[in-house]
Amino acid sequence: MQNTRYALALSALLSAAGASAQVTPTPPPGTTPPAPAPAAPAPVVAATPAPPSESVPYGAGMKFNLSPDGTKYVRFLTWHQVWARYTENNTGTLRAPGKPQSDQIDFALRRSRLIVLSQLNPRFLVYTHIGINNQTAVSGGFAPAVDGKKPQLFVHEAVVEYKVNKYLNLGAGMHYQNGLSRMTRSSTINYLTLDAPLTNWPTIEAIDQFVRGIGVYGKGRVGKLDYVLSVNESFLTNQTGAFSTPLGLGATTGTGAAAVNRGTNVAQYNPQGTNHVYQGYFSYEFLDQEANLLPFNVGTYLGSKRVFNIGAGFFYNKDGMVSRSSNSVLDAAGIAATTAAGTSAFNTVPVDKHDIALFSADVFFDTPINKETGTAFTAYAVYYNYNMGPNHTRFIGASNTGWGTDARRGNAVPHSGTGNVGYVQAGYLLPKSLLGPKLRVQPYASHLLAGYEGLRKSDGEQQNVNIFDAGANFYIDGHNAKFTINYRARPDFTDVNNLDYKPEITLQTQVAL
């Protein structure tokens, strides 16, 4: 981007020099010709400025002022994240119909996004966010589990916002003003690690639209306390297959007239859930104040700020989950009637409804260490308490390498469920003299530890989830142009009694304008 600016400056200077060398018109007869114009000065090439001592974590993007004072503007932001990776798949993974595959090297379009942001005046804001996610050759397409082609370009956010006063802004639309934790409302451009742990979005694509919801919110800052509260619609789960009827909440034994379906006491998302979602997040900023125009918390500032925040949040949805206890038994006639009734059978078959109640507390610290050498340190830690009904556990894999609908396929890991989750990450920005001023290096590591009550061994003991990541960011132009190399050790839960850790190695290329 700097080279482009220098080229534009040079072109402007050369154009100016060319204009000064225009042909002089012939003077009228009888007049003394004017002295010839002095020779045009040689064009001056602007000196290359010294490289900045600090990377800018989140620039203004492509901004076009619509008024002289800049109070009315349109701003564009776009970014792509492309993955090249080696993955050892979970046991039994299909790479294509009928084709088991143990591992592969593949490529994925993790994210492709565009934001258009406009301010009509200092009180009104409107922005639209569109894009696609998780496209691979075998998944993430129009039919996400079994098709990689033509992924749906959809609206992530469509928001209007009004500034009431310096303490309160009110907004409405499809928004990302999430509660729960700092990482639940994180920017995807400036992560410290390769990506989010995904556990930070526990209801993704179940009762929301890719972590967004249609509703209203209030946000603002009072002194050093930053806050956001929102009320959203709960999207219908649109479940098909087993969990679309109460039969999926049980297990069938026997056949024919002897068939019996008994409840498993495992909660799933309620296909008839229509209650509102209430959520909020509060953060106290002890040091530098962070920007809060958009709901995108920064993952690492690369030494440009000193930030120490402590936050807490919540998420609540009444009757968002449903289960059948082991006392709920359907005989052959009941099974037939439930099958015929479909989702309507939830009105006749006894089920237990459960609230989704989620809570978190987190801390974020980011500081320059040595301004002269450009070193910096970043750390983040969060604790989640998830209540999602008895024994609920859900599996998800980012840009899943497997084909089909098996929840444990490809690179899937236990993503969320009733239980407790702890996550910590830390990174160190190395001195700018290490590889020269045009390439900065930031090694990092993270660990996720989760205990879900639905993951138990044969002896009844809970099987914990441990996921380890380590890697490094290579910054060419801050977060605007960077590469990330990441190694992950991932547990394969195909056999809960005997976990097998699988490796993933991912190279991400990111360009953001």
pLDDT in the model for residue 168:
97
Asked if 291 and 227 touch (Cβ cutoff 8 Å), the reply is no
Q: Express the helix, strand and coil content of the chain in percent, nearest 5 each.
A: 10, 45, 45
Instruction: Tell me the pLDDT tens digit for each residue of 390-426.
Output: 999 999 999 999 998 889 999 999 999 999 999 999 9
The lowest-confidence range among 20-24, 35-39, 140-144, 366-370 is: 20-24
What's the token pair of residue 132?
């696609």
Q: Is it the case that residue 11 has pLDDT exceeding 50?
A: no
Percent of the chain residues past pLDDT 90, beyond the cut: 79
Query: What average pLDDT does the segment 136-161 reach?
Result: 91
pLDDT in the model for residue 393:
97
The lowest-confidence range among 61-75, 310-324, 398-412, 428-442 is: 61-75
What's the token pair of residue 196?
């989010």
Query: What average pLDDT does the segment 293-313 reach?
Result: 96
d(CA 189, CA 187): 5
User: What is the greatest pairwise CA distance in the chain?
Assistant: 122
Beta bridge partners of 113: 79, 131
d(CA 201, CA 387): 14
Confidence grade of residue 10 (pLDDT, cut at 50, 70, 90): very low
pLDDT in the model for residue 438:
85
d(CA 153, CA 215): 21
Closest CA to 177 of 261, 34, 277: 277
> What DSSP string describes 152-177?
PPEEEEEEEEEEEETTEEEEEEEE--
Asked if 249 and 324 touch (Cβ cutoff 8 Å), the reply is yes
Q: Is it the case that residue 495 has pLDDT exceeding 90?
A: yes
Q: Is it the case that residue 218 has pLDDT exceeding 50?
A: yes
pLDDT in the model for residue 29:
40
Confidence grade of residue 60 (pLDDT, cut at 50, 70, 90): low
What predicted TM-score, i.e. pTM, was given to this entire model? 0.86
d(CA 256, CA 200): 44
Confidence grade of residue 23 (pLDDT, cut at 50, 70, 90): very low
Q: Is it the case that residue 61 has pLDDT exceeding 70?
A: no
Query: What average pLDDT does the segment 182-186 reach?
Result: 97
Q: Is it the case that residue 17 has pLDDT exceeding 80?
A: no
- The burial of 286, by beta-carbon neighbours within 10 Å (0-12 exposed, 13-18 middle, 19 or more buried), is given as exposed
Asked if 504 and 85 touch (Cβ cutoff 8 Å), the reply is yes
Confidence grade of residue 147 (pLDDT, cut at 50, 70, 90): confident
Mark out the alpha helices in 329-482 (DSSP H runs). Answer: 332-341
d(CA 174, CA 295): 12
Which residues fall within 8 angstroms of residue 113, CB to CB, at 6 or more apart? 77, 78, 79, 80, 129, 130, 131, 156, 188
pLDDT in the model for residue 143:
85
Number of C-alpha atoms within 13 angstroms, CB side, residue 392?
28
d(CA 197, CA 398): 9
pLDDT in the model for residue 240:
76
Query: What average pLDDT does the segment 145-162 reach?
Result: 92
Confidence grade of residue 355 (pLDDT, cut at 50, 70, 90): very high
Asked if 179 and 212 touch (Cβ cutoff 8 Å), the reply is no
pLDDT in the model for residue 152:
86
Closest CA to 235 of 266, 279, 202, 204: 204
Q: Is it the case that residue 21 has pLDDT exceeding 90?
A: no
Q: Is 372 left (phi over 0), alpha (psi -120 to 50) or beta?
A: alpha
> What DSSP string describes 459-475?
TS-B--EEEEEEEEEEE
d(CA 113, CA 501): 33
d(CA 32, CA 118): 59
Please give the C-alpha separations between residue 352 and each of 57, 269, 285, 355, in angstroms, as whole numbers. 48, 12, 42, 10
Beta strands in 206-245 (DSSP E): 213-222, 225-232
Q: Is it the case that residue 83 has pLDDT exceeding 60?
A: yes
Beta bridge partners of 132: 112
The lowest-confidence range among 25-39, 55-69, 148-162, 427-441 is: 25-39
What 3-state DSSP class applies to 9? helix
Which residues fall within 8 angstroms of residue 60, CB to CB, at 6 or more apart? 75
Instruction: Tell me the pLDDT tens digit for each residue of 440-480.
Output: 999 999 999 999 999 999 999 999 999 999 999 999 999 99
Mean pLDDT for the chain overall = 89
Instruction: Tell me the pLDDT tens digit for each residue of 274-297.
Output: 999 999 999 999 999 999 999 999
pLDDT in the model for residue 244:
86
The lowest-confidence range among 57-61, 216-220, 450-454 is: 57-61
Q: Is it the case that residue 39 has pLDDT exceeding 80?
A: no
Asked if 268 and 249 touch (Cβ cutoff 8 Å), the reply is yes
Query: What average pLDDT does the segment 488-511 reach?
Result: 97
Query: What average pLDDT does the segment 332-351 reach?
Result: 93
